[in-house]
Structure 1
Amino acid sequence: GERNFKGLGLATSGQRWADVLNWACTLRTVFSCLAFSIVISDSFSAILHSFGAPLALCSRNTVLGGMSLFVILPLCLVPNLAALSYTSFFGVAAMLYTMAFMAIRCLDGSYALGGSFYDAALAAGSASGTWSVNKSTLVLVSALGTACSAHYNAPRYYEQLRDRSVGRFNKVVACSFGLAVAMCLATMSAGYLTFGAASKGNILLNYSTRDPLATAARIAVTSSVVCTYPLAFTGLRDGVMSLLGLRNFQLTTVVLLSIVTGLAYAISNVGFVVNLSGAIFGALTVYIFPCALYLMLPKRKAGAEGQFARSTVCGGVLLALLGTSVALLQEFAPLRLK
């Protein structure tokens, strides 16, 4: 009957393990908010540039500070976010439009030699095989841990499933994750086939600020992220307040958002944030925690299921170490991955 990892940890092994699980899920939301801040600052900067705003206003740092202070902070200070619960539908619509736009630009040759938005400097860095594979390809292991992860909410999803059963839950998971994988593959393929090795962590930054379809995609995605930000931030704030015993809602909000914004000033590559988060917390919530909790059950099943759980924990640790190493090398020493 538990609805989160903390409750599962408390039920299986006590308060200490419950706190470990709670801290891990809370820290993961730091990476989510950080990625959102980077996307908002980069995308809104490009949007302002598209509309001919002064260069001083288009600066990434200016946009990050302004959006954090005048838009994100007021939203995060709202105690009741019920009105934002429907923004997930807008987010799906924004993603579908972005996928369609990227497919159109991939097929119409606008960014190829002789195209309307061809950029020689960008094209020079895109030379590679259509599907080249090297050591840096391993970073996809980390990205997968973020792109296809809702495991920290799995207990709640199962609890709220109508006519729930393990078989019915597995069917829902297979369909939803299958759709998510298909959308990710379609987006990644369109972006890579258009820009090759020059593809950036935030693929929308590759598209020209003169491209009206790209501007519309940036507006749609940025609006969706802005509305989603408070929902992710609530998980961060509630987790920190619970773990540290804090009671001042407003002060905690300001301090935490200041920390996230400061990190966003220092880190500009959203791909690095996503990959590192996937490597560490994706491995924890997808592979390690569920199986570790199973192994802590007093009446756990022996034999093949127990062996599978132990093997999965070991595999999760290996993936975490490998993914973290590749993410750090790709960001700070990319030549070592060539």
Structure 2
Amino acid sequence: MILADTFQALLTTVGFSTITRSQSLFGVTGLFLLPLCLLKNLSSLAPFSLLGIIGMLYTAVAMAMRYLGKAYHVPTGGKFLADVPANLQPSFGTTGATGVLQPSSFILISMLSTAYMAHFNAPKFYTELKNNTLERYNKVVSSSFAISIGIFALVAGLGFLTFGSACSGLILNNYSTKDAVMSFSRVAVAVSIVFSYPLAFVGARDGILDVFNVSQSKRSNALLNKVTVAILSAITALALKVKDLSFVLSFAGATLGNALIYVYPALMFRKAVKNMGDDASKGLKVEVKFAMLSAILGVVMGGIGSVMAVKNLLAG
């Protein structure tokens, strides 16, 4: 979805305004995603991961420039405001900070859950980490999450301060296709997603094979290729029909995100402590209760978030 919208906007910028979203989606899937997802060794993508990080940092800086420069400011008639569709132009209400107390705020909470859904790749990252001691792994994960939180908070804040309630699920859609600075941001985001896509895809593909109890010895290249094509085809078909990124993020966050963050870890921890039997310390047994409390909290937030995401979709 993101790539389809991004590439369509980029093609419009360079003069190919007749390219449809569907054509953009098929093009990026066939030319980039499929070949990359068919790779058996993803180590060659490592340099592009750094390039993707640089691209995200550039996007944050570009958004700050456009906000501070008031290029999309309504009262002053921002430089690029006239090029933005009416439904994507800045819109601000009077609710203020009390808006966080409304049930609709759970939509944002659910979206935030998707920001850190990398759990399925944790074993792979640990195995491939150089000098992979547990202490070093924890240090890398902690610093990575801290940087991610900073970037996510900055981009979300700048997007809202610039466009308010008119923010698109993909914030770059709010910016003019004639804005060269933001067009380069689209390039940066496209490069980042294209080359990070296989990492998430392989994790999902391996998870599906695990569900069907396909052993490593049976995972031949031929089988992996067939499964890759099948999954990517299904994802592409869904992307053709589902165009509201905010719904995908909020609903996926409310269900899968909350399960991965709050529920599954708590259940796994409880099982691990139970298996320890009498060797489990009193402190661990007390910690299990807090873990299960977080699981219950995750279920409640997930339920409310799912309902609000669906209501928001139907209302839109």
Same fold (TM over 0.5): yes
Q: 1:75 aligns with which of 36, 53, 71?
A: 36
SS in 1 for 2:176: coil
Change (3 A) 1:163 1:251: closer
Deviating above 6 A after TM superposition, structure 1's stretches of 4 or more consecutive aligned residues are: none
CA distance in 1, matches of 2:15, 2:294: 53
Structure 2 stretches lacking a partner, 5+ long: none
Change (3 A) 1:149 1:54: closer
RMSD, aligned α-carbons = 2.4
Give yes or no for the alignment of 1:105 onto 2:61.
no
CA contact (8 A) 2:263 2:294 kept: yes
The amino acid across from 1:271 in the alignment is S
The amino acid across from 2:231 in the alignment is L
Aligned to 1:220: 188
The amino acid across from 2:69 in the alignment is D
Q: 2:302 aligns with which of 320, 327, 330?
A: 320
Give yes or no for the alignment of 1:63 onto 2:51.
no
CA distance in 2, matches of 1:132, 1:39: 31
Q: 1:89 aligns with which of 24, 33, 50?
A: 50
1:224: Cα distance to partner? 1.4
Change (3 A) 1:180 1:71: closer
Aligned to 2:115: 147
Change (3 A) 1:226 1:169: closer
Aligned to 1:32: none
Aligned to 1:267: 242
The amino acid across from 2:21 in the alignment is R
* CA shift digits 1:24-48 (9 cap, x unpaired): xxxxxxxxxxxxxx01000000000
CA contact (8 A) 1:152 1:285 kept: no
* CA shift digits 1:229-286 (9 cap, x unpaired): 2222222223323433375222222211110000000111222212222111221111
Aligned to 2:134: 164
Q: TM-score, normalising length from structure 1?
A: 0.79
The amino acid across from 1:49 in the alignment is T
Change (3 A) 1:269 1:53: same
CA contact (8 A) 2:258 2:302 kept: yes
1:280-295 equivalences under 5 Å are 280-295=255-270
Report % sequence identity: 34
CA contact (8 A) 2:120 2:204 kept: no
1:16-31 equivalences under 5 Å are none
Which deviates the most, 45-54 or 69-78? 69-78
SS in 2 for 1:201: coil
CA distance in 2, matches of 1:255, 1:173: 32
Which deviates the most, 206-215 or 175-184? 175-184
Give yes or no for the alignment of 1:127 onto 2:102.
no
Change (3 A) 1:153 1:67: closer
CA contact (8 A) 1:45 1:63 kept: yes
Q: 1:190 aligns with which of 139, 146, 158?
A: 158
The amino acid across from 1:50 in the alignment is T
Change (3 A) 1:333 1:121: closer
